[in-house]
Chain A
């Protein structure tokens, strides 16, 4: 099973360029931190409530990316706030992204292709090998949002992540999104880590907007 960080990157993948959607680093890093925490929660390594996050079990999960996150969390007290955990892990966003890409390559979902721009600058592209996994993620999201089915925990997480990063427009047209907005909001809200992540992203966006006129 893919980690949420891998699913998030797949959703952000741009088939044309072989790169990833241009999402501000601050937001993407927070989303990746949220994705790691949500996987650790589902694997019962951590638990959260409206404000606190408790580490229950430091046993490695066997997924390098998640175990890296679990190790980093040890820098915080066993009982901390979800916001502090997100804040700590988002600083490792670039590492999570590289680890998730490496895992997608290892799984045979992406392949790495090197190249040069203007014969000088090295570039990296990650074309999809057959796109089956991406279609599967998109199908899961579409099936759920277009039905009244109760979501399962994994569906809730991927919708919370895709919504927070503005990636649902890669699954739906603008009018479909408008029609599904109430259901998207309802589902995304069901995950408490997702709520904290979304609040943090809104605050970061607002802070960036305030700073821009002076930069």
Chain B
């Protein structure tokens, strides 16, 4: 698994959205009032007031019936424009897709990833251009052909026209998506080799927080990098005090399976600094720790099953096994075995042994080990060898859900992306013509999909080489990004201009939606996980809605102020 699903903080996001929207509305109101007063003098107040009243009147007298009628009209128009021809391309693609997916020699779990990724990507890539073109050309074409004139002469408000367009295109997009998703599902089921079909499942993981201990046993945030370019994995050294420590909270008997086992699945990596015994993989051991009592219960040694993962069934009743790599003798060798939930999950928050006060995280001031915490430590047994992991590489596996359930959620993720593109396309088309609207929306989608990371580095001044002017200067003078620029007025001017442009970029960065959230569902499903509502579905819905309200308002205002005769 090469991604780390971070929780989406909906409340924080909603708060920040309300703040931005509120501030923007206040600015717009103030600027429009100021402009009205400056251009019309004392009559500006009343003109502004009547305009605001008109807008409010439009907003509050919205007719669902008229919106529905306009939605139907948009739908019929789209069908008439042969939008559904996209099915032909889709059919052709799937007829020959098998030629390109010659992955039958791969292990079943890898085949699933290839097939699922292909289907969901193909659906996204076919459907997005379709809705983008429909949404961007709908209104401009109506205006060009003057068919909108007949609509606006009816008692239909411009807000309803914008909404009708959005809903109509959304219906077309959804219809196409549903058909494609159905065919795609059938294709996966039919095309995927039988042996790989068993891998079509949705694991339900409970992830913990990961910290490390180095070879001396000191707490660290990361392990060793063994030379990977991608610093996702951290490694711990074998036969030392190095540990990867996962903290699981909210643990009770409900995490056990029907047979009373705790299913701990891992995706550890092995790195050998010497060949060693090639007949077996590296050994690891899991140690369960109660943070409240400090009780440590090791489990038996297991070998790493690299890139495929291994599910360890930890029985509720734990026998007493000596912890590998510890020199002291096991304290007790007989007696009652431990109970996983009773003995190893904390009942009270862990306290400092000296002050007897609960341990708190100094940065967040929250309890470090609240009640219901289970600590799982992983250690590498083989001396001189290394085990690699990242946060999602050890999790509690709850009962699996069906693949179909996850598939539907992934399709919902695509639907949210599709709706967002429609919202953006229709909004943009209210103030520019078709080709420009297409280009603008396309740019927003492409930047939102591919360039946000780069923009983030740029606006946070983490990108070496400076802004536009500085980069050009460095290119012309063959200066590498770390060389200091010569001090002087010209450099100051250059930096000032670059700084201003980066500030503008900051604005653009915060306006352009982050499309990576929509791809999360695909990553979950392709890796055999249930699409998490909090991590993948909710962000998609939230982003779509966050753009929906301001975009509808913007589109409405633009259309309201637009002179329709000007084609």
Asked if A and B are interacting partners, one says no
